[in-house]
């Protein structure tokens, strides 16, 4: 605590990201990065920027500010998602987009989001001084959208943020359910943000319903589905009035949020749907094989539509007392060179979130789980 901090800074509880080790001795299954490389078209687009699109010396274009309206990227994203460029808001990763959205659309009444979810949401609320209320997940970790709607008992919320799929659980909702929630909130001029960071791995996107609900904003990232966590590209899709609100907040901070490399690489990524569909079908296949193998090894696996699994060791049949705690399993995996993520909070302290890696990564993970738990048949994910 510093005497130079103001009360806002002193009162913040910042988000803590997953570990990023500097060495290469770990298999990283802790930060939900895509294990496969980005599209070759992305690499080509980055090389064109570095070569100097305007015909100058190599890298010469980097001396110029990027387009503050991000026209190239917005046009590409609009074409990919079937909307107008004016309905796309670009940002430096979806975290920044979400931060701007909290500031643009929520104020004095509590914004609602799940009690077990992306832990940046309460950080945004605290930063902006917005009251918030967490809504408990059901016992199976699913979201009951009725808890987010206005009622005589609960009153009128300030808005809602629903991740679909949710993290760290991986559970997803049907698009129709979310659309009905948007309609109910629209009657009270409340915004529904649907965070679709992991939607490409098996959930239904709401982007096709944007024009039906002017209060609906979907938020996206290229970190997961497009293998570009290192480039920092995120965006939102919504009605023009929501997008204009986001620009008003952005331009009160920094009108050059995306650099030239991110704009070019991001545009190439959103347009190469065929490449990424193939990559993400591969992630889904590895996820399903891994989930099945974990069941054999004595783990409870929450049904996932994301690029990760949420798991708990339940012990051998008839002997649940032999189950390993989440903390013990986390430490044992780390000792074997495998990083996963654990959240030390009520209801989920014994669960681990495991990102889906390559086939070889998951074989090593399953072999380690079999060794740690002493379960028979601890083979690889490919059978």
Q: Is 170 within a domain?
A: yes
- Across 23-37, 109-123, 312-326, 355-369, least confident range: 312-326
pLDDT band at 12 (very low <50, low <70, confident <90, very high): confident
User: Rounded distance, CA 353 to CA 311, Å?
Assistant: 7
Note whether residue 175 is domain-resident.
yes
What is the model's pLDDT at position 53? 67
- Print the domain residue range for 118: 40-271
The mean pLDDT of the chain is 93
CB of 220 closer than 8 Å to CB of 96: no
pLDDT of residue 383 exceeding 50:
no
- On whether both 266 and 280 belong to a single domain, the answer is no
Angle (nearest 5°) at CA 341 between 316 and 290 = 50
In a domain, 5, yes or no: no
> 265 and 134 in one domain?
yes
Q: Are 205 and 284 members of one domain?
A: no
* Distance separating alpha carbons of residues 244 and 47, to the nearest angstrom: 32
Percentage of the chain lying above the pLDDT 70 cut: 95
| Domain assignment of residue 381, yes or no | no
Is 260 within a domain?
yes
Identify the burial level of 40 via C-beta atoms within 10 angstroms of its C-beta, where 0-12 means exposed, 13-18 middle and 19 or more buried.
Answer: exposed
Q: Which of the residue ranges 54-58, 235-239, 349-353 would you say has the lowest mean pLDDT?
A: 54-58
In this prediction, residue 189 carries a pLDDT of 97
What does residue 238 show for φ and ψ, rounded to 5 degrees? -170, -170
Per the domain annotation, does 10 fall within a domain?
Answer: no
CATH, residue 145: 3.40.640.10
Residue at a domain's end among 204, 236, 271: 271
DSSP per-residue letters across 195-244: E-TTGGGTPPPSGGGGGG-TTEEEEEESSSTTS-TTT--EEEE--HHHHH
Distance CA 351, CA 365 (A): 16
Beta bridge partners of 88: 237
316 vs 265 pLDDT, higher one: 265
Tokens of 7: 């009360």
Residue 380 belongs to some domain of the structure: no
Quick check: is 189 in a domain? yes
- 314-328: per-residue pLDDT in tens? 977 656 668 899 999
Residues 161 and 310 grouped into a single domain: no
190 & 169 share domain = yes
pLDDT per residue over 172-210, tens digit each? 999 999 999 999 999 999 999 999 999 999 999 999 999
| Same-domain check for residues 291 and 226 | no
Which residue, 212, 246, 271, sits at the end of a domain?
271
- Dihedral over alpha carbons 286, 292, 293, 298 (to 10 degrees): 140
Where is 161: in which H helix or E strand? Answer: strand 159-163
Reported as a pLDDT band with limits 50, 70 and 90, residue 58 is confident
Give, as one character, the DSSP assignment of residue 323: P
Asked if residue 196 and residue 53 are part of one domain, the reply reads: yes
CATH number of the domain at 281, please.
3.90.1150.10
Specify whether 128 is located in the same domain as 173: yes
Of 271, 288, 308, the residue at which a domain comes to its end is 271
Give the model's pLDDT for residue 65. Answer: 92
Q: Are residues 124 and 267 in the same domain?
A: yes
Question: What's the rounded Cα separation, in Å, for the pair 131 and 303?
Answer: 32
C-alpha angle with apex 208: 202 to 197, nearest 5 degrees? 40
Give exposure, 369-382, as e/b (b: 16+ Cβ within 10 Å).
bbebbebeebebbe
233 and 338 share a domain?
no
Give yes or no for residue 15 having a pLDDT over 80.
Answer: no
The tokens for 85 are 């460029």
238 plus 323 within the same structural domain:
no
Question: Closest Cα to residue 296, out of 171, 353, 169, 381?
Answer: 381
pLDDT of residue 275: 98
- Please tell me the total count of domains within the chain: 2
Binned at pLDDT 50, 70 and 90, residue 13 comes out as: confident
- 382 preceded by cis ω (within 30°)? no
Specify whether 193 is located in the same domain as 226.
Answer: yes
CA-wise closest residue to 383 among 295, 293, 297: 293
């Amino acid at each position: 605590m510093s005497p130079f901090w103001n009360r806002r800074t002193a009162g913040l509880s910042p988000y803590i990201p997953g570990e990023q080790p500097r060495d290469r001795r770990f298999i990283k299954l802790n930060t939900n990065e895509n294990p496969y490389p980005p599209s070759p078209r992305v690499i080509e687009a980055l090389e064109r920027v570095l070569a100097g699109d305007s015909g100058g010396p190599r890298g010469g274009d980097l001396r110029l500010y990027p387009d503050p309206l991000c026209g190239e990227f917005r046009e590409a994203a609009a074409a990919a998602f079937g909307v107008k460029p004016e309905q796309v808001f670009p940002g430096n990763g979806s975290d920044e987009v979400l931060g701007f959205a909290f500031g643009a659309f929520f104020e004095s009444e509590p914004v609602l989001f799940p009690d077990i979810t992306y832990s940046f949401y309460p950080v945004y609320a605290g930063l902006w001084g917005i009251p918030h209320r967490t809504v408990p997940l059901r016992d199976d970790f699913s979201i009951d959208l009725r808890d987010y709607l206005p009622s005589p008992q609960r009153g009128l919320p300030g808005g809602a943020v629903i991740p679909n799929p949710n993290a760290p659980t991986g559970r997803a909702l049907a698009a129709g359910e979310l659309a009905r929630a948007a309609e109910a909130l629209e009657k009270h001029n409340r915004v529904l943000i649907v965070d679709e960071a992991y939607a490409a791995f098996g959930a239904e996107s709401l982007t096709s319903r944007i024009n039906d609900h002017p209060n609906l904003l979907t938020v996206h990232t290229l970190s997961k589905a497009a293998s570009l966590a290192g480039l920092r590209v995120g965006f939102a899709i919504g009605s023009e009035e929501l997008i204009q609100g986001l620009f008003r907040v952005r331009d009160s901070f920094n009108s050059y949020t995306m650099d030239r490399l991110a704009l070019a690489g991001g545009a190439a990524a959103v347009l190469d749907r065929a490449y990424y569909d193939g990559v993400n079908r591969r992630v889904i296949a590895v996820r399903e094989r891994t989930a099945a193998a974990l069941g054999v090894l004595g783990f409870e696996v929450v049904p996932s539509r994301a690029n990760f699994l949420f798991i708990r060791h339940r012990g051998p049949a008839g002997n649940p007392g032999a189950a390993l705690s989440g903390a013990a399993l986390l430490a044992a995996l780390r000792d074997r060179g495998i990083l996963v993520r654990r959240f030390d909070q009520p209801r989920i302290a014994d669960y681990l979130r495991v990102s889906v890696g390559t086939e070889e990564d998951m074989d090593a993970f399953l072999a380690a789980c079999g060794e740690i738990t002493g379960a028979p048949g601890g083979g690889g994910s490919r059978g």
